[in-house]
Amino acid sequence: MSKYRTSDVKAPRLNPEAQAQAVALEEQRAARSYGARFEDLRRTLHRLRRSTLSLVGLAIVLGLIVLAIFAPQIAPYPEDIATVHFERTFQPPGRQYLFGTDEVGRDVLSRVIFGTRISLSIGVAVLAIALAIGVPLGLIAGYVGGPVNTIIMRLTDIFLAIPPVVLAMAVSAVLTPTLENSIFAIAFSWWPWYTRLIQGQVLSIKEETFVEASRSAGANPLYITFKEILPNVLTILIVKVTLDIGYAVLTGAVLGFLGLGVRPPTPEWGTMASKGRLHLPTRWWLTTFPGLAIFVTVLGFNLLGDGLRDAFDVELE
Amino acid sequence: MTTLLSVSHLKKYFPISAGFLGRRVGEVKAVDDVSFAIPEGKTFALVGESGSGKTTVGKTILRLIRPTGGDILFDGRNLSRLREGELKPWRRQMQIVFQDPTSSLNPRRRVADIVATPLEVHGIGTPRERLGRVRELLDLVELPEKYLYSYPHALSGGQKQRVAIARALALNPRFVVLDEPTSALDVSVQAKILALLARLQQELGLTYLLISHDLSVVKNFSDHIAVMYLGKLMEMAPTRELFANPLHPYTRALLSAIPVVTDEELALIPERIILEGEIPSPANAPTGCVFHTRCYARMEVCTQQAPPQLEVHPDHHAWCHLFTSEGSSKI
């Protein structure tokens, strides 16, 4: 039988020019894929570098991290976190006290710098908890489907029906106002967003042919979830987490401002702004500088998140 | 010649649900009473328009879809009623190559990981040994080793399909479903991939189920052809016989639609038959012979009774009333 002769299958005749073009294209591809191991990362960084605003965001976020870690070294009066100085209350901003001093004579700049620690730990811890609860639930709901999906998603809907700040307020009103409880209260209202995001992603990815290919190879649901689906939701998660850290910091500050967050004398920005409110408008520095710190933090994470979103080329709802 | 795979009375009905409670309001008979057998080492082609159920047949055989009824005998063992856990050893012997390599390769995994997936899933070898096997496989499908750590987007369509073929062969399967393996590729690449598949079949003694809508591919590549329409078989014969002597009106229409270039080629194909209308919705399939709404040789009986399987010539089967006692007078 002659059926295996390749000449039986007619290849179309290309003109030499098109053929040369095709060969050149192929070579370009080959050259590129040599360093393919890090290609994705390189491309992402390249796109990030091209956008000034995201670089500003990155600089702010890195700056905040440095401030948080080296607060005792950077703050001019680190002892002001715990001690009072009645001899120098309400000093306006000047050479000695850049951001002025408060009603018990503490240096506002030092307290704002130490506040970075509180705010960043709220932001990071809230997202860590939200991810730890939200992502597994979303994976299970999306992959298993059926009644399991219905139960998880309706539960999520109940949480989503209440505005996050209101829910966090309700929870912290019940609990004693400590840093840990603030974090818990905010995380409590945060995880459902991740369940919904992941569930939606899994639902669409699990219909992809590469999942079916893995199944035909004999892969079990765990393999498919972790090796085939999860890598495809990582970029969208990174972007959303970056954006959300800023919002979690803001929510923490809102709780503090309303007196439901961390209690004084802990240098929390929202609490500081709330206390200083009594001395407005004459002693404006008590509210303005903590407020600016909140503003810059949220802005920084937002710019970075937006930049990453464009760099990774993902779409959030 | 031993039969490796045989399918008998295979059925797959997809339920149509409606309303809030998902009430079952009907069903799509994607595959309805399909039977055929594939001898070991041969290529069996399923051809038909999109929506004819040919892909569903392929996926049901691999148990990627659970059949509604019928038997799937692979090497003497009935796979149709095995549970998911019991299927795993059989999955080593049966693999699939999908139509579109862009969607069948995970964009976030590298070639080495993709090709090693079946090995990893079945716990074969250490990571180092698996990498060795992956290199071997890439060599087998003629993909340069420098692509080992590339992501799929860095590869061309043909290269991606080579990766998909390498993955399918990782566990040394005996049977491979080729689901339109070339229809997503450039014409210039199609021939190369087909030649590769033919070489692999010869070297490894593979048995293929080729699913295609492209008769010119099927003609050169397969030993047997079955023609499907709306979930049912219309005609089944060895390739040469089918092209030389098409019996079913639908097959004749299909053959007449093959594009030709030269006059000699034109002489080989039947007079051009143009079918009217579209393939009907499988949710509301016609009564009697499913093809009767578009058939140019329609008779009274066709609208009422489904035609039985008839062996018109040795090994040449047709499902058409033209060859029953009612229709024999018309020929």
Q: Averaging pLDDT over each range in B24-33, B125-134, B273-282, which range is the top one?
A: B125-134
Task: Please check the confidence at residue A7 and state whether its pLDDT lies above 70.
Answer: no
> Strands B43-47 and B224-229, how do they pair?
parallel
Instruction: Provide the pLDDT for residue A16.
Output: 57
DSSP state of B206: -
Q: Please give the Cα distance from A230 to A138 (Å, whole number).
A: 11
Hey, is the C-beta of A234 within 8 angstroms of any chain B C-beta?
Answer: yes
How far apart are the C-alpha atoms of B283 and A46, rounded to whole Å?
51
**Of the listed ranges A12-16, A53-57, A213-217, B224-228, the one predicted with least confidence:** A12-16
| Mean pLDDT (whole number) for B74-93 | 87
What are residue B189's phi and psi, to 5 degrees?
A: -85, -30
What average pLDDT does this structure show over B21-32?
80
Interface contact A217-B95, CB threshold 8 A:
yes
Tokens (6 digits) for A147: 């009644």
Interchain pair B156, A29: CB under 8 A? yes
Instruction: For residue B142, give the amino acid letter.
Output: E
> Contact, B107 vs A209, CB < 8 A?
no
Report yes or no: B260 at the A interface, CB cutoff 8 Å: no
Find residues 50-109 of chain B whose CB sits inside 8 Å of chain A: 59, 62, 64, 87-88, 91-92, 94-96, 98, 100, 103-109
Angle CA B193–B222–A7, to nearest 5: 50
- Span A279-306, mean pLDDT? 90
User: What DSSP letter does each residue of A250-278 carry, written as one string?
Assistant: HHHHHHHHTTSSSPTTS--HHHHHHHHGG
Distance (Å, rounded) from C-alpha A3 to C-alpha A157? 60
**Is the bond leading into A281 cis (omega within 30 degrees of zero)?**
yes
Mean pLDDT of B9-34: 82
Distance between CA atoms of residues B199 and B202, nearest Å: 5
At residue B233 the predicted structure's pLDDT band, cuts being 50, 70 and 90, is: very high
What is the per-residue pLDDT for B328?
Answer: 57
Residue B200's DSSP bridge partners are none
More confident: B271 or A295: A295
Q: What is the mean pLDDT of residues A16-43?
A: 55
Whether the CB of B166 is below 8 Å from some CB of chain A: the reply is no
Judged against a pLDDT cut of 70, whether residue A25 lies above it is answered with: no
Cβ within 8 Å of residue A148, ≥6 positions away:
A140, A141
Q: What pLDDT was estimated at residue A69?
A: 92
Query: Complex ipTM, two decimals?
Result: 0.85
Measured in whole angstroms, the distance separating CA A250 from the mean position of its chain's CA atoms is: 13
Give Cα separations from B114 to A213, A285, B79, B98 (angstroms): 10, 59, 26, 14
Contacts of A96 (CB under 8 A, 6+ apart): none
Task: Classify residue B230 by its DSSP letter.
Answer: T
- CB-CB under 8 Å, B190 with A4: no
The confidence band for A54, taking pLDDT boundaries of 50, 70 and 90, is confident
* Number of Cβ atoms within 10 Å of the Cβ of B122: 17
Q: Which residue of B has its CA nearest to A232?
A: B108
pLDDT of amino acid A19: 56
Contact yes or no for A209 and B190 at CB 8 A = no
Contacting residues of B for A218, CB less than 8 Å apart: 87-88, 91-92, 118, 121-122
pLDDT the model gives residue B143: 93
Say yes or no to pLDDT of A218 above 90: no
How confident is the model at residue A164, as a pLDDT? Answer: 81
The reply to whether residue B106 touches residue A232, judged by beta carbons under 8 angstroms, is: yes
Q: Which helix or strand (DSSP H or E) is residue B286 part of?
A: none
pLDDT at residue number A3? 40
Highest mean pLDDT among A259-263, B76-80, B137-141, B259-263: B137-141
* pTM of the shown model: 0.80
pLDDT at A94: 80
